[in-house]
Amino acid sequence: MNNEKKLIFSGIQPTGNSFTLGNYIGAVRNWGTLQNDYNCVYSIVDLHSITVKQVPAELRKNSLSAYALLIACGIDPQRSVVFFQSHNKCHAELSWVLSCYTQFGELSRMTQFKDKSAKHTDNVNAGLFTYPVLMAADILAYNADLVPIGVDQKQHLELARNIAQRFNHTHGEFFTVPEAYIPKVGQKIKSLTDPTKKMSKSDENQNGSVYVLDDKDTVIRKFKKAVTDSGSEVKYADGKDGINNLITIYSVITGKSIQETEREFDGKGYGEFKLAVGETVADHLAPIREKHSSLMEDKQYLKECYTEGAARAMSITQKTLTKVYRKVGFVDAR
Ligand code: TYM
C-alpha cells in the first residue's frame, strides 16, 4: 500500500451466480478504474449474504464464482486487496462494538431493511436489521476515504458516517469519515421489464436483469424484450424511464455521452436501438465471461489470491481493532 494514496473500500454480495449489469455499471466497473489512483480494498461480503436464506453449497460455489468475476472484471488481486469478508474476523468484531454506537431508531429507518423485511416476512432476522452496522464496520475498519457504490447504498453509507462521527465525538478523532463515490451516469440501472424499479439480483422476473455471465443470445434477447414507453424517438426525457435506462446503459458501455447517443440514433426506432444496445453490451461482456471461465478452472490460483488478500486485509484492520478496544476500555490482551 502506498501511504500517499487515499483508501477505497467496497463490497459486493455473492448471491446468485453472477453480478447484474447494475452491479457492474454502478460499482464494479468503477472499482477497476479506481485502482490507478487509490489503494483499493474489495470484498466479497459473504457475511452480509446470509441475512437472507442461502443454500450452503450454492453460497460457497457462488462466492468463489463472484471472486473470480471480480478479477475478470479488471480487479487486480496483486494491486488491490481482494478477499472474502468471512476470512477477516475483524469485520464481525468491530461490527459488535459499532452496534453499541448505533440506535435502534436509526436502523429502523433503513429503507433496505424495510423492503427486505417486507419481502422475507418469514425471516426478519436480527442480522437483517443490523446489516448496516456490519457494512459500517467493513468501511471504518480500513479507515476508508472513499466508498464506490450505486445510489441504493447511499443511506447505508450515511449511517456509517454518522457512526464514525459519533464514535469520534465520544473517544476523540479516530475514524476517517468516509465519502460516497456514486457515478453521475449509471448510479441506478433499472429493470428491463419494469424500468421504475432498480435492476436487482433478487428480481423474480429473470428477464428484468442482465447478468455479466449471460451469453450473447440471452443478453440480446433480454434487451429486445425491454419494456419501453409509447413513443419512438431515442431521446432522454423526463418520465421515459425505459428508454432513459437503455440510453444510460449504452452510453456508459460505449463511453459516448447521452447527446452523442441521441445523435447516433436520430431517426431510428426503438427496435433498432434495443438491438444495438443488446449487441454492444454482449460484445463488452464476452471477454469478461471468457476470463471468468478460465479463472474458474484454476482454483489453486484463486485460493492463493484470496488467502493473500485476507492476510493483507487482516494486517490493516487488526491495528484498527486493537486501538478501538483500547479506546472503549477493554484490558489489553498482551
Ligand atoms: P450489492 O451486493 O447489492 O451490490 C453491489 C454494488 O452494486 C450496486 N448496485 C447497483 N448500481 C447501479 N444500479 C443498480 N441497479 C445496482 N444494483 C446494485 C450497489 O449499490 C453496490 O455498490 N451492502 C452492499 C454490499 C456492502 C458494501 C459494504 C458496499 C457490504 N459492505 C461496504 C460498500 C462498502 C450490497 O448489498 O451491495
Report the CATH fold assignment for 206-293.
Tyrosyl-Transfer RNA Synthetase (1.10.240)
Amino acid at 7: L
Write down the pLDDT at residue 309. Answer: 98
Q: How far is CA 136 from CA 11, 15, 27, 73, 261, in A?
A: 11, 20, 18, 25, 38
What is the edge-to-edge ordering of all strands in the sheet holding 39-44? 81-84, 39-44, 7-12, 146-148, 179-181
Q: How far is the CA of 39 from the centre of ligand 1 (A)?
A: 19
What pLDDT shows up at residue 229? 85
Position 15 scores a pLDDT of 87
What does residue 201 show for φ and ψ, rounded to 5 degrees? -60, -30
Candidates 29, 62, 149: which one to mutate for ligand 1, based on the most atoms within 8 Å of Cβ? 149
pLDDT digits (tens, 9 = 90+) for 170-181: 999 999 999 999
Q: What are the residue ranges of CATH 1.10.240.10 in the chain?
A: 206-293
**CA 10 to ligand 1 centroid distance, Å:** 8
Residues of the chain with pLDDT under 70: none
Q: Kindly list the protein residues whose Cβ atom lies closer than 6 A to any atom of ligand 1.
A: 9-13, 22-23, 25-27, 45, 48, 135, 138-139, 147, 149-150, 152-153, 156, 187-189, 198-199
Nearest to 166 by CA among 256, 100, 114, 85: 100
Question: CB–CB of 278/225 below 8 Å?
Answer: no
What pTM does this model have? 0.97
Q: List, by residue number, the catalytic residues.
A: 116, 198, 201
What top-level class would CATH report for the domain 7-182+299-328? Answer: alpha beta
- Give residue for cell 465519502: 179
pLDDT tens profile 1-48: 777 899 999 999 998 878 999 999 999 999 999 999 999 999 999 999
C-alpha of residue 145 to centroid of ligand 1, in Å: 17
Per-residue pLDDT at 86: 98
The CATH 3.40.50.620 portion of the chain extends over: 7-182+299-328
